Structure 1
């Protein structure tokens, strides 16, 4: 495992990287970097069409990593107006790690996940990344602007 931080636009990382960001289980993607994933990847449509929310439910997949194209959508909270917990972020990171190991994904780029509008503390999130990915050969690039 190698974690490094660079001042770089997440959307211009070199080919070969999978991207990761946090979303809500209602697939709102209406603010922060999630909105950019809608603009660049049409992510809201792809999520609804490939991973539909069950009938009668308001949200789905909390604590899971949903892979669409080369993007891991980490579902860290049920609804867009709520805040995530460290537990749901941890669960989603473990799910992403498991995907990476199963499909030989070795490069992930992400912002300081959970630390913008979601207000988690970066030091705690960084420690969590180290814990979850410690035994892997995955390179994690943290992009900041």
Structure 2
């Protein structure tokens, strides 16, 4: 199941995802700055030595925070291929960790300028048949 809701930074105890992200985890713009301030852990993320197309993970209390790496530097634009590879790795990791509900910001279509329709279609394609609920949040201005 895939739903769209307005974003609240104090969202419950669900697992969260911050994507797209850069390999250097600078997180200087967009929703990434909120994740950086709220969950810290940049050094912990860097120590995982993840590459483009992979997922780095923080565990805070009873939740996981997933950082999908889709590009090397903040000023790069993620390719559709890297976006899909990263989502595929996210699915693998979620299945390994038995994650059943994932909350994510409206990803890729903001600063990274991926078409929202492509983002939705790719998420649905990658997670098809996966026993998981996904809720996409967006900033309400």
- The TM-score normalised by the length of structure 1 is 0.87
Q: Does 1:126 align with 2:120?
A: yes
- Partner of residue 11, structure 2: 13
Q: Which runs of 4+ in 1 moved over 6 A?
A: none
Matches within 5 A, 1:67-86: 67-69=57-59, 70-86=64-80
> Where does the alignment leave 5 or more consecutive residues of structure 1 unmatched?
53-59
Q: Compute the displacement of 1:12 (Å).
A: 2.3
RMSD of aligned residue pairs (Cα, Å): 1.3
- In the alignment of these two chains, the number of paired residues is 134
Matches within 5 A, 1:1-145: 2-9=1-8, 11-15=9-13, 17-22=14-19, 23-48=21-46, 50-52=47-49, 61-69=51-59, 70-145=64-139
Q: Compute the displacement of 1:8 (Å).
A: 2.7
| Maintained 8 Å contact 1:37/1:43 | no
Paired with 1:112 and 1:85, the residues of 2 have a C-alpha distance of 17
| Structure that is richer in strand per residue | 2
- The TM-score normalised by the length of structure 2 is 0.89
| Structure that is richer in helix per residue | 1
